[in-house]
Amino acid sequence: MIVIFLGPPGAGKGTQAKHIVERYGIPQLSTGDMLRAAVKAETAIGLKAKAVMDAGNLVSDEIVAAIVEERIEAEDCAEGFLLDGFPRTVRQAEMLGGILAKKGREIDVVIELQVDEGALIERLRTRIEETKARGETPRADDNEETFAKRLGVYRDETAPLIPFYADQGKLRSIDGMAPVKTVSSEIEAILDPISTTK
């Protein structure tokens, strides 16, 4: 079962990803984790990525796609996997489609968590206040300016994936503003039938 998660920052993808991993026993593949693992393992593509990052540059789509391709050949991905943070753009989605086609595999479903951006900013403010109330320092990226930038990037680069996958009949949208358990139940209603046919 191959699943892709879409949704802006703060939509609750991390929480739901954990639930999917536990319930279906498939690994969650996050771009950041895969990059770090490839660099640490000093694979050919990992060394390439390290050189780019050490120079202070962004890793190219080609390198990210190669790291994803390498990772999904691992044994723990044989039964499927959940992609989080990749693809980020339509170009990356096309590259992923090519990688999977070569392996005779395809994406089963793309789950989009729909959220209200205004409500997300309110959530962020609450989180910052609660962190401060505990006497802790909020995370460096937990500020409205950074968050607004990340939302802008999502809208410009990643949101076009919604019609891209809808046209392929792969997209399922869920109300990400619903309580966590409700969202989890809706995800199960989508994934349970797929997992039983695999």
Q: Which residues are catalytic?
A: 13, 88, 127, 139, 150
Place of tokens 């358990």: 181
Distance from C-alpha of 22 to C-alpha of 184, rounded to nearest angstrom? 12
- Which residue, 76, 81, 50, is CA-closest to 63? 50
Quote the strand ranges of the chain, DSSP E: 2-6, 28-30, 81-84, 109-114, 171-175
Local structure of 154: helix, strand or coil: helix
Phi, psi of 114 (to 5 degrees): -85, 130
Task: Check: CB of residue 16 under 8 Å from CB of residue 183.
Answer: yes
Start-to-end C-alpha separation, the chain: 7
